[in-house]
Amino acid sequence: MTESLGVNDTFPRGGRRLSDPAVNAVTGELVGRKAYLVGTGHCVPDRVLTNKDLEQIVDTSDEWITTRTGIKERRITNDQTSTSDLAIVAVEEALEMAGWGPKDVDCMIVATVTPDYIFPSTAAIVSDKLGMNNIPAYDFEAGCSGFIYGLIQAKCFIGSGMLDRVVVLGAECLTKITNWEDRTTCVLFGDGAGAAAIGPEGPGGELGGWHWGSDGSLGDLLELPAGGSRKPASKETVKANEHTLRMKGNETFKYAVRAMRDSCLKALDMDGTPKSEVDLLVPHQANYRIIDATARALELRPEQVYVNIDKYGNTSAASIPMALDEAVRKGEVTPPKNVVLAAFGAGLTWAGMLLKWKEEEGL
């Protein structure tokens, strides 16, 4: 009979030995470990599609797009580039910053609505190409909230002692599911990937309070109608452009503002951190007006909000990790600093998280 492992044992996972959660020396109770963001990376395609370029495709204008969204340009993949291609580069950058090798990674999580295939998973493809075979690797879909959903999962894995090092990815090729005849949506989206390396030790930003949720009754506000089991691909669905995304913009906007605000405030409340102590907001880059409304709810000044929507547009799950990586590499995330992430997306879903860089810690 196999002897069960106690909380003080080390145990193998895939031929490696992982550290345990801490045990309180007085009570003997299991104490969850902290999780830290120790590396970031991102990748975007080379091709730039400007608002002026879009004027030649649909009935729109640079002024109309900029005024309503804050977007000036976005990045577009070519026919040979897939989501995993962008993801691989982003992971390599995150590992380099973290000082990890591929064999140090215990799990790969990919948030995406545009996987290479329905199956195999994009996570499995990325981990294979980077030499990370034999680890758990999976995709999940939570729309634009996906990256924060992934951070929450990583925090739980590491806090429980189940895993030591997790890579969380948000990666998308949204322009491959864009209807280029729909002037209301084709101006919004771009392609890119962002990655984060999460481990049990700093230096880095501690994953703090968080909040997440969903409301499936609002799913029709932002959807991809065909291609699943409800409406499989057919000549009719292709002809009707039902394999491209659709959005009810005005209604989505109203819910997005509320969801972004509430996610931030509830994450801060869980952490016990007042909004007056927030130093930087890194929001989902969907629409500048939504970003501005979220910042005002937190009583933040414009310089306390990281915005790159003008360069990349809405990249869904890749949006926050791309912006966070830029902010880190520009030196805008230096300790001590409290950074709030907030997102909403198809589902509808929403999520928020506080990252805490302390004085003695930093990337």
8 vs 22, 29, 35, CA distance in Å?
9, 11, 20
Cα 29 to Cα 291: distance, rounded to the nearest angstrom? 42
Does residue 312 contact residue 140 with C-beta atoms inside 8 Å?
Answer: no
> How many CA atoms are closer than 13 Å to the CA of 43, on its beta-carbon side?
23
Instruction: Using alpha carbons only, give the angle 289, 294, 297 rounded to the nearest 5 degrees.
Output: 125
Q: Tell me, what amino acid is at 47?
A: R
67 vs 63, 72, 287, CA distance in Å?
6, 10, 10
Question: Catalytic annotation on 314?
Answer: yes
Does residue 263 contact residue 352 with C-beta atoms inside 8 Å?
Answer: yes
Query: Which residue in the list 42, 43, 107, 144 is annotated as catalytic?
Result: 144
Cα 282 to Cα 260: distance, rounded to the nearest angstrom? 11
Burial class (CB in 10 A: 0-12, 13-18, 19+), 20: middle
Within 8 A by CB and 6+ apart from 346, the residues are 113, 143, 144, 219, 222, 223
Instruction: At 33, list the tokens.
Output: 């470990």
Number of residues written out for the chain: 363
Query: Which residue in the list 51, 287, 314, 338 is annotated as catalytic?
Result: 314
Q: How many CB atoms lie within 10 A of CB 283?
A: 28
In eight-state DSSP terms, residue 105 is: -
Within 8 A by CB and 6+ apart from 196, the residues are 37, 39, 40, 94, 147, 151, 167, 168, 169, 321, 324
Query: Which residue in the list 43, 264, 284, 287 is annotated as catalytic?
Result: 284
| Active-site annotation, residues | 144, 284, 314
